[in-house]
Amino acid sequence: MTSFLTHRARVHDARLPLRRRHNALRTCITLFAPYGFRATYHHLTLSAAIPRRLEADPDALVRAVEELHEARVLWLARAQEYAAWRRAEKRTGRRAVANPRPWWLRSWWEGQDRAWYEDPFRHPPLRLREYVRRQNAILDGADLPGCPACGDARPLEPISTGHGWVGLCRGCAWAPVPCPCGHRHRLVPQVPYGWNEIWQRAHMSDDGTPNPHRPAG
């Protein structure tokens, strides 16, 4: 728990070389990543406008870690509440995990958000705190319109799995139902990507806007 805050403080520390502050941001994302590690990083490069050359705007790293931190505070409050509730349930003899599982305990490979792990460009466009708020509200029983993950209300995008069809949210590639065979399959990214290029922000310009020569999915 302190680890996130320790690394967050490193991201803020202007005396450290930018490369180390960037690595500290990476550690923070390994500890909390609502969209999965790669998609969360990609999201933050856009929302915090992290330039391709970090020297062009060192504060971008601070904006990124603060967006992450804000969302984590909301998640942590809900997760602690949930843990207390689970302890009380166990004391009364109910050991089975509640159904549906809370959003942060779902496994990604069988999850409706599987695409975010396979194509880091396809994640909700929401600020992380809005995403967390939305997921917490759904967990508390709210019936929200549109895609559960991002609220997009457009018809689903049909994708062939080779032996059937699945529909993906056009806003974030959320898959409401698995393939007719019962499994969730790998999503082949529409734009082939190299993780190193995303990590080095090849999709960003020095002024923090998306690089027009590198479509970001």
Q: Is 172 in the site for Zn ion (CB under 5 A)?
A: yes
Q: How far is the CB of 101 from Zn ion (least distance, A)?
A: 19
Q: Is 161 in the site for Zn ion (CB under 5 A)?
A: yes
Q: How far is the CB of 141 from Zn ion (least distance, A)?
A: 20
Task: Give CA–CA dist 181/103, Å, rounded.
Answer: 24
Name which position in 147, 166, 168, 175 contacts Zn ion (CB under 5 A).
Answer: 147
Q: Is 166 in the site for Zn ion (CB under 5 A)?
A: no
Q: How far is the CB of 130 from Zn ion (least distance, A)?
A: 13
Q: Is 84 in the site for Zn ion (CB under 5 A)?
A: no
- Based on CB atoms, which residue is closest to Zn ion, 77 or 181? 181
Helix (H) or strand (E) holding 159: strand 157-160
Say which DSSP state 102 is in.
P
Q: How far is the CB of 202 from Zn ion (least distance, A)?
A: 25
Q: Is 152 in the site for Zn ion (CB under 5 A)?
A: yes
Contact 44, 37 (CB under 8 A): no
Name which position in 11, 25, 68, 149 contacts Zn ion (CB under 5 A).
Answer: 149
Query: Could you tell me how many residues of this chain bind Zn ion (CB under 5 A)?
Result: 12
Name which position in 100, 181, 197, 215 contacts Zn ion (CB under 5 A).
Answer: 181
Q: Is 144 in the site for Zn ion (CB under 5 A)?
A: no
Task: Give CA–CA dist 201/28, Å, rounded.
Answer: 18
Q: What six digits make up the tokens of 156?
A: 């689903």
Place of tokens 């180390």: 20
Q: Is 204 in the site for Zn ion (CB under 5 A)?
A: no
Contact 192, 41 (CB under 8 A): no
CA-based nearest residue to 150, from 138, 161, 140, 167 = 138
Q: Is 179 in the site for Zn ion (CB under 5 A)?
A: yes
Q: Is 130 in the site for Zn ion (CB under 5 A)?
A: no
Q: What six digits make up the tokens of 112?
A: 């409706």
Q: What is the distance between the terminal CA atoms of the chain, rounded to a whole angstrom? A: 34
Q: Is 211 in the site for Zn ion (CB under 5 A)?
A: no
- Based on CB atoms, which residue is closest to Zn ion, 141 or 182? 182
Count of C-beta atoms within a 10 Å radius of residue 104: 16
Contact 142, 129 (CB under 8 A): no
| Residues of the shown chain interacting with Zn ion in the complex, contacts defined by CB under 5 A | 147, 149-150, 152, 161, 169, 171-172, 174, 179, 181, 183
